[in-house]
Structure 1
């Protein structure tokens, strides 16, 4: 992993419109190669002035000034997810709510690759029990046309309970139904598992889940997401921060994962690395460091580096709660979304100290698979 320099670019502008930004998502047009990125930004997680922002551009090229795509409803905005549908429409899902346990999911659709958008609508009308559709990572569309969205739910209070599930749509996103991932909570020390990341294998669908236990959990489905195996711990260190996987072959078992490698729950979110597995996520090997905080990312022409808007005595750390995580952003490089680019490389968007969204290009040649 040492000695490899990954190309990284700030794509979120100068950050003058917010104090903190987080939870990016990206897609790339197969026709034009244009990347669309989205994230939430405002004063902090859970703030009423949080909004969902979007930009479009190419690495090393010009990026549109970020613009607000979802705002208001007297609630905070969180966790956008971008995904292309089979008909070429670009969907934007996002969470809205006063607390994580009371999220609703809203969506907008673009027919021109993110330049213009439909009117915003609730994904499942009136459902405010934690949000529907994808919770952080993009959905998979099976050969039969079924949309399988990685989902999870978090209860609030002093003793939260986390569970992973998947939201299925067989009619192109118009209607959704949930399938649960079995989990033995009695065997856990913490809240449980959330925010699964999903890929296809020759044997069906595979997902690994963020957890409160210091290591990731794995679950599989052999019937297109209708039923899932009980989630079991795997030997992949997990620091209770979001991660994202991308399959490296359509019919095989090779997969890459962008993640923070620590095993201390709510521990450091640095470095950010890519690991790979050739056995469908049972075992993993670290391959390359995307971000270690030692070298600033590149800036598009005319863009200034965003300021880290914290007090001089602020320290690194994460204080979780139903109203969001409180953090200074110091030394945080986290919450990646990863996709396979049209040129075969991996594109990874992530939070850079809560003051910028960065996109990195990872050549397939450095992965050793």
Structure 2
């Protein structure tokens, strides 16, 4: 009886601790400072753990978004300090130079290879997917390889790996007539071949840039940027093969990117801009918040990351949780730098 009572107390303590969890800010730093790098603007970062206390981040940077001089840069986080950025990919295809876009890191749990996915093309309606891989934690990279026809790679947020090794890569398209649709790119052989599963393409709801989270019951959920002024969601109960109708979460979305993960404590965390869309696409990105949820639909704000003024831009967050349980968030800071936040 005493053992049963003691065990019950432990379970209740764990449940209480999850219910009462509130993220705490540990550090807030810029990966580089304006004027110390050879590019004027930067955007769309990605971040990955590459060892104990070590990280790597990437973003695109150049004169301005969509300019042909925009290339992919990386920086390593070593001994608590971000290193000077290094160019690792460009958009040169034959005799033509295009801008690069939206880098995304991915590492399969059963492999030491670090993959860097990115896009090359004049704009998001015409870009194509490319990737490089590194065998030494991002210090050196392979030559660029094109993804198969119609495979774009992860558009903005990271893939997830199922227990059976299958990769679910969140992607989307933007057509020339400005129609947005989300899909998954699925690989059962570590990225050698891919198949496409559309997510509710018959629906009038327009979404892009999904994040993928997995629930305890095995369901897969996507959370998307949308034209609906809400973060939109859909669920799959068959590992992403079929999808339920779109549902609006209680989170505002001003036509801006988000990212979400499932934490080790079982709760879900999202980073988002809490505003409505304005007349111009960049409006609504002056504030950035962290929210928590137990079901992926009903969210509660837990932390304010930025509370800016008109003209500021804090956008395109990416989020991971490292092996020690620390949460790392990177995001665009006024297009002048990439900010790195650490939470516990």
TM-score normalized by the length of structure 2: 0.86
Q: 2:81 is paired with a residue of what secondary structure? A: coil
Q: Is the 8 A contact 1:90 1:109 kept in 2?
A: yes
Residues in 2 aligned to 1:32 and 1:89: alpha-carbon distance in whole angstroms: 16
Q: Could you tell me which residue of structure 1 aligns to residue 82 of structure 2?
A: 63
Residue of 45, 70, 73 corresponding to 1:53: 73
Q: Is the 8 A contact 1:273 1:286 kept in 2?
A: yes
Q: Does 1:154 align with 2:167?
A: no
Q: Is the 8 A contact 1:13 1:66 kept in 2?
A: no
RMSD after superposition = 2.1
**Unaligned runs of at least 5 residues, structure 1:** 295-315, 317-329, 364-369
1:266-311: CA deviations, max 9, x gaps? 43212211000011x11000000122249xxxxxxxxxxxxxxxxx
1:215-263: CA deviations, max 9, x gaps? 011111112112222222222111111110010137x4x2000111112
Residues in 1 aligned to 2:215 and 2:307: alpha-carbon distance in whole angstroms: 31
1:348-367: CA deviations, max 9, x gaps? 0000000001110112xxxx
Q: Could you tell me which residue of structure 2 aligns to residue 305 of structure 1?
A: none
Q: 1:100 is paired with a residue of what secondary structure? A: coil
Q: Could you tell me which residue of structure 1 aligns to residue 243 of structure 2?
A: 228
Number of corresponding residues: 313
Q: 2:245 is paired with a residue of what secondary structure? A: coil
Would the alpha carbon gap of residues 85 and 105 (structure 1) be closer, same or farther in structure 2, given more than 3 Å must change?
same
Q: Higher strand proportion, which one?
A: 2
Cα offset, 1:19, TM superposition = 1.5
Residues in 2 aligned to 1:197 and 1:225: alpha-carbon distance in whole angstroms: 13
Cα offset, 1:13, TM superposition = 4.7
Q: Is the 8 A contact 1:12 1:55 kept in 2?
A: no
TM-score normalized by the length of structure 1: 0.80
Q: 1:173 is paired with a residue of what secondary structure? A: coil
Residues in 1 aligned to 2:31 and 2:156: alpha-carbon distance in whole angstroms: 19
Bigger-Rg structure (1/2): 2
Structure 1 stretches of 4+ with a deviation exceeding 6 A read none
Residues in 1 aligned to 2:305 and 2:55: alpha-carbon distance in whole angstroms: 19
1:46-81: CA deviations, max 9, x gaps? 1100000011014x7332221111112211100000
**Unaligned runs of at least 5 residues, structure 2:** 1-21
Residues in 2 aligned to 1:43 and 1:185: alpha-carbon distance in whole angstroms: 38
Q: Could you tell me which residue of structure 1 aligns to residue 272 of structure 2?
A: 259
Q: Could you tell me which residue of structure 1 aligns to residue 327 of structure 2?
A: 346
